[in-house]
């Protein structure tokens, strides 16, 4: 059983952070804290200069990481540091240009060697997946894909047939960022994608607190992905590592409890 599949034995809490934010050493502590505090999967963003799928919070995170000297090599080094003490699945969130400029075969090989379990190329449509699918299969890396509220049923089926690990359900149209309530599109999205596949479904975009996380699982999600709320904690406490570690640990523990304590959760 793959590490990602094993993470979905119960509803999973998937925590996102940007590699190298606010600096490399602190980002190691952040990743370790998220894992120790209960994250079932760590989603690690490789910072990019033009993250079109992200809102201002994560855009600023990318900018801080790049200003501090973040690189793809350092992102892989961070994964190797994680692997020294944890078997928690690591999924990379990366933009197509980063993979293409490094050369896909090399990128996937180095990711596998570092200990990466899955890769989401966030701006790569399923129609262009031929660029990476052979390399994913050769390395055993799970290729993650997104499904949005506007994805038609026939395309959902096509994406599900290509995907490995889990499907990343984008709960709303637009970019990442905290929202006050769970998107109205989330429940029907979960329902209609579930009709097309038995793969784990992880809901992301906009989930910021325990109430929304529980609602997502109650609606049928197998996991929730939280990014901007975590990155805001990092941004707010970047100058105080002790408080940063404490707030991240407390937030992660609350979110893990929220998704795990849903009666009848999948």
**C-alpha separations of 9 from 4, 143, 190, 214, 222 in Å:** 10, 20, 18, 17, 9
Q: Choose the catalytic residue: 21, 23, 40, 43.
A: 43
CA distance 52 to 64: 16
Catalytic residue (one of 21, 40, 54, 117): 54
User: Is 177 strand, coil or helix?
Assistant: coil
Distances (CA, A) of 157 to 54, 147, 164, 187: 26, 10, 13, 18
Question: Of 148, 160, 89, which is closest to residue 119 (Cα–Cα)?
Answer: 89
Catalytic status, residue 54: yes
Give the integer Cα–Cα distance in Å for 218 and 180: 18
Residue 235 catalytic? no
Q: Can you tell me which residue has the tokens 């129609």?
A: 127
**Please, which residues have CB within 8 angstroms of residue 103's CB and are 6 or more apart in sequence?**
none
Token output for 170: 């984008």
Question: Which residues are designated catalytic?
Answer: 43, 54
């Amino acid at each position: 059983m793959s590490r990602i599949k094993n993470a979905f034995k119960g509803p999973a809490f998937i925590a996102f952070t940007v590699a190298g934010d606010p600096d490399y050493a602190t980002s190691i502590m952040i990743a370790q804290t998220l894992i120790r505090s209960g994250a079932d999967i760590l989603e690690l963003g490789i910072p990019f200069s033009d993250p079109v799928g992200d809102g201002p919070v994560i855009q600023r995170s990318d900018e801080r990481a790049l200003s501090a000297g973040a690189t793809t090599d350092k992102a892989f080094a961070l994964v190797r540091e994680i692997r020294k003490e944890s078997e928690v699945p690591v999924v990379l969130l990366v933009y197509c240009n980063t993979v293409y400029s490094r050369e896909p075969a090399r990128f996937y090989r180095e990711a596998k060697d570092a200990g990466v379990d899955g890769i989401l190329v966030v701006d790569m449509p399923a129609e262009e997946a031929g660029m990476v699918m052979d390399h994913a299969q050769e390395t055993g890396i799970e290729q993650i894909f997104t499904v949005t509220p506007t994805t038609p049923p026939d395309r959902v089926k096509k994406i599900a047939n290509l995907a490995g690990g889990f499907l990343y359900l984008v709960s709303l149209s637009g970019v990442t960022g905290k929202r006050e309530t769970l998107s109205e599109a989330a429940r029907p999205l979960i329902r209609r994608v579930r009709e097309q596949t038995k793969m784990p479904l992880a809901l992301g975009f906009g989930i910021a607190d325990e109430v929304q996380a529980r609602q997502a699982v109650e609606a049928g999600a197998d996991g929730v992905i939280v990014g901007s709320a975590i990155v805001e904690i990092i941004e707010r406490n970047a100058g105080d590592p002790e408080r940063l570690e404490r707030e991240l640990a407390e937030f992660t523990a609350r979110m893990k409890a929220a998704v795990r304590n849903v009666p009848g959760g999948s």
